[in-house]
Amino acid sequence: MFPSRFEYVAPRSLEEALSTLAGRGDEAKVLAGGQSLIPLLKLRFASPALIVDLNRVPGLSYLEESDGHLRIGALARNRDVVASQTLEAGYPTIAAAAPLVSDPIVRNLGTVAGSLAHADPAGDWGSVMLALGAEVTVRSASGDRTIPVADFLVDTFTTSLEPTEVITEIRVPKPEGSSGGTYLKLERKVGDFATVAVAVQLALDDGRIGRAGIALTAVGPKNIQAIDAERSLAGAEPTPESFQEAARLAADAASPISDVRGSADYKRAVVRTFVQRGLDRALELARAS
Amino acid sequence: MAVTEHEIAGVGHSIKRKEDARFIQGKGTYVDDISLPGMLHMAILRSPLAHARIVSIDAERAQALPGVVAVVTGELLGQHNLAWMPTMSGDTQAVFATDKVRFQGQEVAAVVAEDAYTAHDALELIDVEYDPLPAVVDPKKALEPDAPIIRDDKDDQADNRCYRWETGDKSATDRAFEQADVVVSLDTFYPRCHPSPLETCGIVADVNPVTGKATLHMTSQAPHAHRTVFALVAGLPEQNIQIKTPDIGGGFGNKVPVYPGYVAATAASLLLGKPVKWVEDRSENLISTGFARDYHMHGELAMKRDGTMLALRVHLLSDNGAFFADAQPTKVKAGLFHIVTGSYDLPAAHVSAEGAYTNKAPGGVAYRCSFRVTEASYMIERLVQNAAYELGMDPAELRRKNFIAPDKFPYESVTGFVYDSGNYEAAMDLALEKVGYKELRDEQKRLREDGKLLGIGMASFTEVVGAGPAKDYDILGLKMFDSAELRVHPTGKAILKIGVQTQGQGHETTFAQIVASELGIPPEDILVQYGDTDNVPYGMGTYASRSTPTAGAATAMISRKLRDKAKKIAAHTLEVSEDDLEWETGRFFVKGAPDKAATIQDVAFAAYTNHPEDLEAGLEGSHYYNPPNMTYPFGTYVVVVEIDEGTGEWKVRRVVAVDDCGVRINPMIVEGQLHGGLAEGFAIAAMQLISFDEDGNCIGSNFTDYLLPTSWETPNFETFATVTPSPHHPFGAKGVGESATVGSPAAYVNAVVDALAHLGVRNLEMPVTPARVWEALQEARSGS
């Protein structure tokens, strides 16, 4: 690979990284897993003057449950999420999505936080975190702030992260009561970005649907939260009819483009299929939990 | 004791590949591994536009970057008469564009620098002013009268047509169509795909400024042919050009042509007096080097009501890109496409072809294919399935009814091929039995009643591989024979030098096995050499499944010549008459006295220590083999798919492949070749496409967009064999490296079409994406 020239620093602490970014954030790119940034450098689509490599910063690789949240540290790798035993029961949507993120080589290095920061509308984690109602904690030299994922993802490759900030943690609220969820992805091959993918999260409250989360991958300028579909389910009976209606509303929320992967109509149809199948599966898990 | 067949592990034995030890230990040497003292690095500037006039090229800023040694432009090359070069189809191709650019990614200039990073940085400092022209991306539109002329560099070119070609008997075909009860037609497009070998193309050009000797380490499937082309293009004396191919990381046809990068690096080394390395990156390989296929085909099959085939009519339009650079024999313009009558006894056929220049990359190479037989096989096998639907017949039974019968071989086809041998029905029956065809058809019927989609597709292909014969086949005038030189050393160990060029085929093993069978020297005692034009005899290289039919035959022939000589030496040392000797693998013995014997090792020693006075010393020689005919491997592939109607995804449940390539030298290597080809066929059918937008921008310029399947997507393959030896090959072998790429795409597509056939679907275009399946389903459902 022959990227443009860049300066490289590898700070040993978060403070050091943040003070570097405080001075030169505008010309810098932060490197975590590098699975999006390095291809951009290779193709010279990105030519930052400075790379700030976080990989030597200690204490950011955690994946743990505390104070009612799953906390995913900035350097937790996709591989760590795949390997985690604790997710299957409490966070089935995350457990379903993790092995579908790209391929094993990418998962060995790529991070959940890096995927969110890259804000690719075809990224998987954006939809999963939207469906789960997660938050992103970011830090700069002047302090922390916590941003709901829905506000964090602004547009294609654009987040509300300032150039002086880094993500330190993703906080996923533990789904309450009887709940279930899943992630369904159509890809042309392993390692490909999604043609269409759908994250579904469903909680049951006394037989009726409590909170529902539905988010869509690769069918718009960013990961799309299917708000109307979610609302149609809240308080409804979990019936084939209510699921069909939610699937229809989710397909309406999608705004895909026609490309080599398929027409816009096709992608909407797959959203519909996946939301319906996803809700069926989520309900099955919720009832079993 | 005689050496037994098993101990010498000759033809028919699945011994492990001799070359694998270095590959699996990472000890191979590829072009990019070569580093010479003082070596410079070259990077190529490519056109961002598909069609534009070059107004000016200003390299001043690039030249000024520290570390830059030279900027090479078409103008500079022109001063040395190197701005243009001949293509494999006798056209011309710009080395670096001077007048205008004709496809996105075309070579415009190059930077030679002290390191590769600087060379790439400097590319951004070359200022090229372009005057954009309308891009021609559709070959049909290219042939319309008002289309912009792409090849205005050629005085005799008034349009965008690059060839017209036809064969067969048009009037007999027309008559047969008039008498037909049923005519079935199919329009289909075999899309542009790319061989994409894992190792991209590259060269280390090392021209010695004192002696003038040019040593070119390059990624070549045909080193000797390339040497001759270099001699003709550059005017270098041929004895001063040495092409050395180190390990080649896959070719699949992509490394048959001569590319501008090779020429520019060689010119740079010549001008600068230092070695120059150029290795293209993945995108450069995908956007500028030899693509494959890109055939728009129309086929019609005339039949009697009972299914008897009467005639075939095919027209094709090929999209050749900006330069007609197809790698193919001189006397044909659409390769061996006219083998399109396939496995069927067709009394009449007519094939017409025309090619169009477009603003796309040039170089229709036969990607793992013997000169366009892939497109031909796809056409006929798709057409036959649709014919079966039209007649209400089972596709297997329609094939059976029309197969060329085993007793008709050698069979002369109406388009001029003489099929050497075949037993198509036996191969098909084995495939049907292994897959459980009848049960599958029953299951399909049951599932359809439940609204579920199961498809069973097949292809009964015939390949044509092993060109020559020299009287019919040449490339740029170079006859398509091939060669082998065998030297048996005094201790009975041997070196075999061959004119063909492995890129992963396993020649170091299989060619040693041929010698082992013929001379009884164990394969581990035979070193196989290739790919150094100073060291090995002239040959036309490896592509189109030609190595075993040509150089493999040459190896057998020289082994037999040496065995004849060995017999004379054995007679001398055993003090008997030659007529009293009998040969069994590895030794001569006296008739009636089997203990009185000389092993091949004894004879080899005697050849240098105790040979008859009237005989030359030594045990070595060479043979140039001109094949009397090509070989015609064949087989039947059956594919079973299931379709998810909600997404259009199709999953392969079974792939049963029966191949008949005659005698198998190393069955394990043949299996490997078949697995690779079945995987590539799947990739082409399911996911691969180099496409262009209306401005001629290439979509598919990296592995994010141009997809290679992983082990996850690739189906499981069940492979079986029948054996019908080639009657004219010295030991009955046929080429096989490409059979599965040739035969399988039609089987995959036929399977998906078959799943939807009851809904009236007759065609799906490759790549058969889930979206295309879903759209076909919507259309069929809304129409019914």
Q: Do A189 and B702 touch (CB under 8 A)?
A: no
**B391 and B185 Cβ atoms separated by less than 8 Å:** no
The C-alpha of A140 sits at a distance from chain B's nearest C-alpha, in angstroms, of: 34
pLDDT tens for residues B690-699? 999 999 999 9
**What's the pLDDT band for B316 if we cut at 50, 70, 90?**
very high
Q: Which two structure tokens, joined as six digits, stand for A244? A: 């069909």
* Residues A81, A113 within the same domain: yes
**What's the pLDDT band for B4 if we cut at 50, 70, 90?**
low
> What's the maximum distance between 2 C-alpha atoms anywhere in chain B?
89
User: What pLDDT shows up at residue B232?
Assistant: 84
Among partner residues B283, B647, B704, which is closest to A273 by beta-carbon distance?
Answer: B647
Residue B65 near chain A (CB below 8 Å): no
Rounded to whole angstroms, the Cα distance separating B610 from B590 reads 19
Q: Do B771 and A261 touch (CB under 8 A)?
A: yes
Rounded to whole angstroms, the Cα distance separating B440 from B653 reads 11
Rounded to whole angstroms, the Cα distance separating A203 from A175 reads 7
Query: Which amino acid is located at B50 in the chain?
Result: A
Task: Give the chain A residue nearest B767 (alpha carbons).
Answer: A260
The C-alpha of B711 sits at a distance from chain A's nearest C-alpha, in angstroms, of: 9
Q: Do A5 and B709 touch (CB under 8 A)?
A: no
The strand pair at B718-721 and B68-73 is best described as unpaired
The strand pair at B691-692 and B478-479 is best described as unpaired
Q: Do B770 and A4 touch (CB under 8 A)?
A: no
Q: Where in chain B is the domain with CATH 3.30.365.10?
A: 5-27+482-625, 373-407+421-466+631-783
Task: Tell me the CATH number at A33.
Answer: 3.30.43.10
* Residues A89, A146 within the same domain: yes
Residue B520 near chain A (CB below 8 Å): no
B-chain CB neighbours of A39 within 8 Å are 704
Omega of the bond leading into B66 within 30 degrees of 0 (cis)? no
Question: pLDDT at residue B673 above 90?
Answer: yes
Query: Which one of A141, A157, A173 terminates a domain?
Result: A173
Nearest CA among B712, B776, B692 for reference residue A263: B776
* Residues A31, A84 within the same domain: no
Task: Tell me the CATH number at A184.
Answer: 3.30.390.50
Query: Which one of A173, A190, A209 terminates a domain?
Result: A173
Query: Which one of A150, A173, A196 terminates a domain?
Result: A173
* Residues A15, A105 within the same domain: no
Rounded to whole angstroms, the Cα distance separating B192 from B365 reads 11
B377 in helix, strand or coil? Answer: helix
Q: What is the mean pLDDT of residues B423-438?
A: 98
The C-alpha of B435 sits at a distance from chain A's nearest C-alpha, in angstroms, of: 26
A2 lies in some domain: no
Q: Burial level of B79, CB count in 10 A (0-12/13-18/19+)?
A: exposed
Nearest CA among B675, B692, B691 for reference residue B767: B691
Residue B775 near chain A (CB below 8 Å): yes
B-chain CB neighbours of A262 within 8 Å are 769-771, 774
Contacts of B213 by beta carbon, 8 Å cutoff, 6+ apart = B207, B240, B241, B242
Question: pLDDT at residue B2 above 70?
Answer: no
Provide the annotated active-site residues of B: 221, 368-369, 738
What length does chain A have?
289
Residue B699 near chain A (CB below 8 Å): yes
**B492 and B600 Cβ atoms separated by less than 8 Å:** yes
| Residue B645 C-alpha from the chain's centroid | 36
* Residues A70, A139 within the same domain: yes
Among partner residues A191, A262, A277, which is closest to B771 by beta-carbon distance?
Answer: A262
Q: What are phi and psi of B351, to 5 degrees?
A: -125, 125
Topology annotation, domain B373-407+421-466+631-783: Aldehyde Oxidoreductase; domain 4 (3.30.365)
The C-alpha of A251 sits at a distance from chain B's nearest C-alpha, in angstroms, of: 14
A58 lies in some domain: no
Among partner residues A103, A186, A261, which is closest to B649 by beta-carbon distance?
Answer: A186
Rounded to whole angstroms, the Cα distance separating B216 from B241 reads 7
Q: What is the mean pLDDT of residues B292-307?
A: 98
A166 lies in some domain: yes
Rounded to whole angstroms, the Cα distance separating A198 from B646 reads 14
A158 lies in some domain: yes
A28 lies in some domain: yes
Among partner residues A186, A190, A273, which is closest to B712 by beta-carbon distance?
Answer: A190
Contacts of B729 by beta carbon, 8 Å cutoff, 6+ apart = B466, B549, B552, B553, B627, B631, B662
Contacts of A146 by beta carbon, 8 Å cutoff, 6+ apart = A135, A136, A137, A138, A171
Mutation target vs B (from A6, A189, A190, A193; most B CBs, 10 A cutoff): A189
Q: Which two structure tokens, joined as six digits, stand for B691? A: 């496409």
Among partner residues A2, A191, A274, which is closest to B120 by beta-carbon distance?
Answer: A2
Which chain A residues in 96-155 lie under 8 Å from chain B, judged by CB atoms? 103
Residue B712 near chain A (CB below 8 Å): yes
B-chain CB neighbours of A189 within 8 Å are 687, 707-710, 712-713
Helix/strand/coil percent split, chain B, to 5 = 30, 25, 40
Task: Give the chain A residue nearest B707 (alpha carbons).
Answer: A189
Q: What are phi and psi of B153, to 5 degrees?
A: -75, -15
Q: Where in chain B is the domain with CATH 3.90.1170.50?
A: 34-133+199-249+255-288
**What's the pLDDT band for B1 if we cut at 50, 70, 90?**
very low
Task: Tell me the CATH number at A126.
Answer: 3.30.465.10
Residues with pLDDT less than 50, chain A: none
* Residues A134, A190 within the same domain: no
pLDDT tens for residues B550-589? 999 999 999 999 999 999 999 999 999 999 999 999 999 9
A96 lies in some domain: yes
Among partner residues A43, A266, A274, which is closest to B775 by beta-carbon distance?
Answer: A266
**What's the pLDDT band for B784 if we cut at 50, 70, 90?**
low
Q: Tell me how many domains chain A contains.
A: 3
pLDDT tens for residues B372-384? 999 999 999 999 9
A1 lies in some domain: no
Rounded to whole angstroms, the Cα distance separating B418 from B411 reads 5
* Residues A189, A225 within the same domain: yes
A195 in helix, strand or coil? Answer: strand
Q: What is the mean pLDDT of residues B741-755?
A: 98
Task: Give the chain B residue nearest A273 (alpha carbons).
Answer: B646
Rounded to whole angstroms, the Cα distance separating B527 from B504 reads 16
* Residues A182, A284 within the same domain: yes
CATH match of B34-133+199-249+255-288 with 1.10.1200.10: no
Q: Do A262 and B774 touch (CB under 8 A)?
A: yes
Residue B551 is classified by DSSP as I
ipTM: 0.96
Q: Say how many C-beta atoms besides its own lie within 10 A of residue A88's C-beta.
A: 11
Q: Which two structure tokens, joined as six digits, stand for B125? A: 């400092």
The count of C-alpha atoms lying within 13 angstroms of the C-alpha of B299, restricted to the half-sphere facing its C-beta, is 29
Q: Say how many C-beta atoms besides its own lie within 10 A of residue A77's C-beta.
A: 21
Q: How does the average pLDDT of chain B come out, rounded?
A: 96
Q: Which two structure tokens, joined as six digits, stand for B667? A: 């069955």
* Residues A78, A159 within the same domain: yes
Task: Give the chain A residue nearest B771 (alpha carbons).
Answer: A262
Residue B282 near chain A (CB below 8 Å): no
CATH match of B5-27+482-625 with 3.40.1230.10: no
Q: Do B775 and A263 touch (CB under 8 A)?
A: yes
Residue B713 near chain A (CB below 8 Å): yes
Rounded to whole angstroms, the Cα distance separating B538 from A198 reads 59
Q: Burial level of B489, CB count in 10 A (0-12/13-18/19+)?
A: middle
Nearest CA among B660, B669, B656 for reference residue B744: B656
Task: Give the chain B residue nearest A276 (alpha carbons).
Answer: B646
Give buried/exposed letters for B618-650 (b at 16+ CB in 10 A, else e): bbbbbbbbebebbbbbbbbbbbbbbbbbbbbbb
Q: What is the mean pLDDT of residues B287-291?
A: 96
What length does chain B have?
784
Q: What is the residue range of A249's domain?
A: 178-288
Question: pLDDT at residue B77 above 80?
Answer: yes
